[in-house]
């Protein structure tokens, strides 16, 4: 399979992180699909799904791919290198503590200004010009530091994509995804194919994560030039493939099959469209997602399993302080599906323990977890 290696700025003399980029199909034959795995580094399910998908795509005849598919199976080589006393810490950059999936550049205003007076009445030409402008504006901003350079290169690979799948996983979780409310219909078939148990939506979740850095610029350009036809692109989602420990081969195969099935349904891969299973959930607002906090310090005991439909006020866990003999109940603050939880079992007061997909808004401001 065609493989491109991109060198990033060195972390130290002789220590150069690299991105491996796989490409399938042809850019001028149809939509561009961008898929990356493990932006938080220690998210093996995303990497394994991307790897298995690449194997499946490589086995297809060339004419079966009606577009361009770009896969970055290992999206964060810097995070993969971060180990402290034998513990892998891949979610945050050790140099500044920033989350690898936060703080991507916002280029919308620059792109809108660059397109002023250049769009016409032909949708395909307008869309091609928009894609070229997205690449050009972003390419001019190339930073020199390793972590910003990593974010920049990933965004440059994806910014002109029609569809973006950012493959992650939670600590312990059911399959779920995050996207904008306007993309729910587009991603509904994929959510059914992957067996998503929660679809969490927000126009802007806060702190500009990777998927929104792409979708927001496309949507803002379309809103700025409503009189000029533009194909909808930048349709992006963060896809959470269960939990960190869910690395069995059948999971990677199932995830790759779901993506292949979806790409077949939208015509990027030729073949018979797969039948959709029944939807396993309805979309809920990200603002309604309860981030369960530890009310005390001690040993955590879960009382209910993932997948439980909870009622507000229900006891879902207990925290035992064996030194004092005290037990503190962890209470559900809303009705909703218990879909994700931490791997921690010794916890401190105020730590985030899990997530409940509630149906009514609970929070405002930045909506993502740490």
> Which residue ranges make up each domain of the chain?
3-281, 285-357
Taking the CA atoms of residue 173, residue 174, residue 180 and residue 181 in that order, the dihedral angle to the nearest 10 degrees is -140
How far apart are the C-alpha atoms of 236 and 69, rounded to whole Å? 14
Rg (CA), the chain: 21
Residue 173 exposure: Cα atoms within 13 Å on the Cβ side = 26
Tokens 């194997």, located at residue: 55
Contact 17, 77 (CB under 8 A): yes
CATH number for the region 3-281 comes to 3.40.630.10
Place 29 in a pLDDT band, splitting at 50, 70 and 90.
confident
Per-residue pLDDT tens over the stretch 225-251: 999 999 999 999 999 999 999 999 999
Architecture of domain 285-357: Beta Barrel (2.40)
Per-residue pLDDT tens over the stretch 176-221: 999 999 999 999 999 999 999 999 999 999 889 999 999 999 999 9
Contact 23, 68 (CB under 8 A): yes
Average pLDDT over residues 348-363: 96
Q: So what's the pLDDT on residue 368?
A: 86
pTM, entire model: 0.97
Tokens 């003399």, located at residue: 13
């Amino acid at each position: 399979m065609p493989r491109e290696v991109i060198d990033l700025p060195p972390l130290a003399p002789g220590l150069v992180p690299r991105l491996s980029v796989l490409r399938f199909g042809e850019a001028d034959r149809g939509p561009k699909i961008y898929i990356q795995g493990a932006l938080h580094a220690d998210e093996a399910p995303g990497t394994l799904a991307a790897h298995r998908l690449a194997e499946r795509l490589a086995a297809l005849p060339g004419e079966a791919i009606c577009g361009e598919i770009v896969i970055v199976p290992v999206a964060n080589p810097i995070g993969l290198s971060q180990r402290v006393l034998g513990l892998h810490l891949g979610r945050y950059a050790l140099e500044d503590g920033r989350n690898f999936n936060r703080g991507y550049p916002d280029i919308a205003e620059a792109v809108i200004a660059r397109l002023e007076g250049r769009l016409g009445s032909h949708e395909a030409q307008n869309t091609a010009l928009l894609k070229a402008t997205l690449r050009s504006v972003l390419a001019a901003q190339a930073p020199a530091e390793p972590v910003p350079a990593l974010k920049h290169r990933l965004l440059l690979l994806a910014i002109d994509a029609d569809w973006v799948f950012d493959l992650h996983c939670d600590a312990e979780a059911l399959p779920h995804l995050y996207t904008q409310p306007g993309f729910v219909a587009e991603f509904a078939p994929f959510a059914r194919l992957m067996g998503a148990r929660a679809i969490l939506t927000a126009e802007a979740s806060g702190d500009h994560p990777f998927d929104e850095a792409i979708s927001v610029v496309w949507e803002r350009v379309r809103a700025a030039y409503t009189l000029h036809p533009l194909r909808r692109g930048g349709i992006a989602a963060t896809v959470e493939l269960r939990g960190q420990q869910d690395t069995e081969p059948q999971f990677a195969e199932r995830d790759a099959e779901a993506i292949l099935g979806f790409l077949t349904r939208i015509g990027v891969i030729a073949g018979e469209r797969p039948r959709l299973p029944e939807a396993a959930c309805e979309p809920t607002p990200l603002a309604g997602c309860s981030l369960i906090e530890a009310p005390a310090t001690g040993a955590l005991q879960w009382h209910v399993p993932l997948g439980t439909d909870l009622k507000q006020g229900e006891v879902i866990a207990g925290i035992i302080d064996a030194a004092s003999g005290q037990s503190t109940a962890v209470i559900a603050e809303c009705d909703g599906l218990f879909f994700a939880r931490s791997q921690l079992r010794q916890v401190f007061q105020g730590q985030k323990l899990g997530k409940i997909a509630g149906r009514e808004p609970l929070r405002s401001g930045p909506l993502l977890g740490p």
